[in-house]
């Protein structure tokens, strides 16, 4: 299992002890019966968890691509989209 490092902003919990991190399972998640980190299971920091959970019906690759594209947009547009639930 990988240590908690946000898949989007790459902040590491060891450097940010007051940030919450959690795992999100995506559509391509498959549990594995050997040591390691399964595909489709990613860590996110508290700032990116909600966005990741909204995309958990997609594969982890698609979700990351969408989240990165969203990060490029101006902040006011994100706020507006959130307000209108899109
Ligand atoms: Zn993050």
For ligand 1, the distance from its centroid to the CA atom of residue 20, given in whole angstroms, is 10
Cα-to-centroid distance, 81 and ligand 1 (Å) = 20
Q: How far is the CA of 57 from the centre of ligand 1 (A)?
A: 19
Give the pLDDT band of residue 84 (cuts 50, 70, 90): confident
Asked if pLDDT for residue 73 goes beyond 90, the answer is no
Q: For the segment 5-35, what is each residue's pLDDT rounded down to a tens digit?
A: 999 999 999 999 999 999 999 999 998 888 8
Q: Please state the pTM of the whole predicted model.
A: 0.82
Question: Measured between alpha carbons, how far apart are the two ends of the chain, in Å?
Answer: 33
Separation of 51 CA from ligand 1 center, angstroms? 10
Asked if the model's pLDDT at residue 86 lies above 80, the reply is no
Distance 78 CA to ligand 1 centre (A): 16
């Amino acid at each position: 299992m990988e240590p908690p490092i946000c898949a989007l902003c790459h902040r590491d919990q060891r450097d940010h002890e007051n940030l919450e991190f959690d795992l999100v399972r995506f559509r391509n998640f498959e549990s594995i019966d050997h040591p390691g980190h399964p595909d489709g299971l990613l860590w996110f920091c508290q700032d990116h968890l909600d966005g990741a959970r909204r995309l958990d019906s997609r594969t982890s690759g698609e979700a990351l691509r969408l989240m990165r594209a969203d990060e490029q947009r101006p902040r006011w547009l994100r706020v507006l989209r959130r307000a209108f639930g899109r």
